[in-house]
Amino acid sequence: MAEKFLTEKMLIISETDERGFITFANEDFVTMSGYDYEQLKGQPHNILRHPDMPSAAFGDLWKTVKSGSIWNGFVCNRCKNGDHYWVYATVSPITAADGSNHYLSIRRKPTNDEVQRYTQLYKTMKSEAGK
């Protein structure tokens, strides 16, 4: 499948509940993912998980945000049609008005060098995890 690229002006924003289910997705998220808003809302955010992403990266993300800290990192997402795109993500825990925990994610276009570096790192991580 093909790689898609965010534009410099795109900013993907989403919010999930404490279990990682999407409660909000902006238009850039809809555009890049290939899903309609209605198809995204209520789905687990890992609907976009690309098989090349090591599970350790998401383990680190969840450990960080559940501890109340902000997580930053590079993620390769899979589109509805099987294409993929890279993002630099910042995920922050937030407390909703009702006291429940949510997570806000803001994603931007990474540089080509960052994509190359993390593609290799994640390949290495996956191969080492398989040993």
CATH number at residue 68: 3.30.450.20
Residue 131 lies in a domain: no
Residue 90 banded pLDDT, cuts 50, 70, 90: very high
Does residue 83 lie within any of the structural domains?
A: yes
Count the domains in the chain.
1
Q: First-to-last CA distance in the chain?
A: 27
Res 30: pLDDT: 98
CA 68 remoteness from chain centre:
18
C-alpha distance from residue 40 to each of 22, 25, 44, 63, 110 (Å): 7, 7, 8, 24, 23
In a domain, 43, yes or no: yes
Query: Considering the domain boundaries, does residue 2 fall inside one?
Result: no
| Domain range for 102 | 12-124
Query: Would residue 6 count as lying in a domain?
Result: no
Q: What is the pLDDT of residue 129?
A: 81
Name the pTM for this structure: 0.92
The answer as to whether 20 is a domain residue is yes
Render pLDDT for 18-64 as a digit per residue (tens, 0 to 9).
Answer: 999 999 999 999 999 999 999 999 999 999 999 999 999 999 999 99
pLDDT at 131: 56
Residue 87: inside a domain: yes
Query: Edge-to-edge strands of the sheet including 12-17?
Result: 22-25, 12-17, 101-108, 84-95, 71-78
pLDDT of residue 31: 97
Residue 53 lies in a domain: yes
pLDDT at position 95 over 70: yes
